[in-house]
Structures are given as C-alpha cells and as structure tokens.
Amino acid sequence: MGFKKIEAIIRTEKLDEVRMAVEGVGIVGMTVTEVKGRGSQKGILLEWRAGEYRVEFLPKLKLELVVHDVDLEKAVEALSAAARTGKVGDGKIFIYSMEDIVRVRTGERGRPAV
C-alpha cells in the first residue's frame, strides 16, 4: 500500500477551517509554509499614500500532508471543501506519489512513520 503527498496552496484566512476539516477525517499532521504566488487572480491593487500600487504576488499558505492511498480522496475532498470560497484565488491542490517515509526519532520507515 502506498502513500501520497498532498501539497495545497490555499488562502491564508482559510487555514483554521482547513485544519479542522482534515482533522475531521482523521488527518492531524501537516506542514504549513507562508508563500507568495500568483495564478489567474494575478495581483491586487493596494492603497499608497495617494493613489494605488499593484502587488503582483499574493500571500498564500502552502500545506503539505502525507496520507495513505485509501485516505486520499476524503482528505482532498475535505480540504478543498473547506478552502473553497468560489472566487478566483482559492488555490490549487497537487498530489504526488511518495517513495518512502522515515520517522527521525525512531528510524521507523514506511507505514508506521506516517
């Protein structure tokens, strides 16, 4: 049985909802990174002292989770449902196959290390 890595780019304000949603389907561990990026939303206009300026890259969060193959669909579903607003800029989810996993503390590999 294999594992998948889920890498999700989400709106910063959706973090807690997403965390609670995936916890609801039994997934606790994740890594969160503050990132900047752009997609079809492109930049936004912010206020300068007088007038405005355009910011090309928007702050987003990158979530990385590792799940069993069997949990993948419900995890993706929970995550995307919680992260969705229906507007441009909701983000993307990328799914990768995993080679192996090592738990640093014990040296365990594979399934027990998740």
Site residues (vs other proteins, CB under 8 A): 11-13, 16-17, 19-20, 43-56, 59, 85
Residue (of 51, 53, 54, 50) closest to 42 by Cα position: 54
102/114 Cα distance (integer angstroms)? 8
Tell me whether residue 20 or residue 102 sits nearer to other proteins (CB atom). Answer: 20
Is the separation of the CB atoms in 12 and 59 below 8 Å?
yes
Q: How far is the CB of 21 from other proteins (least distance, A)?
A: 12
Q: How far is the CB of 85 from other proteins (least distance, A)?
A: 8
Tell me whether residue 47 or residue 100 sits nearer to other proteins (CB atom). Answer: 47
Tell me whether residue 2 or residue 37 sits nearer to other proteins (CB atom). Answer: 37
Q: How far is the CB of 114 from other proteins (least distance, A)?
A: 24
Is the separation of the CB atoms in 14 and 82 below 8 Å?
yes
Q: How far is the CB of 63 from other proteins (least distance, A)?
A: 15
- Assign 44 to helix, strand or coil: strand
Tell me whether residue 19 or residue 68 sits nearer to other proteins (CB atom). Answer: 19
56/59 Cα distance (integer angstroms)? 10
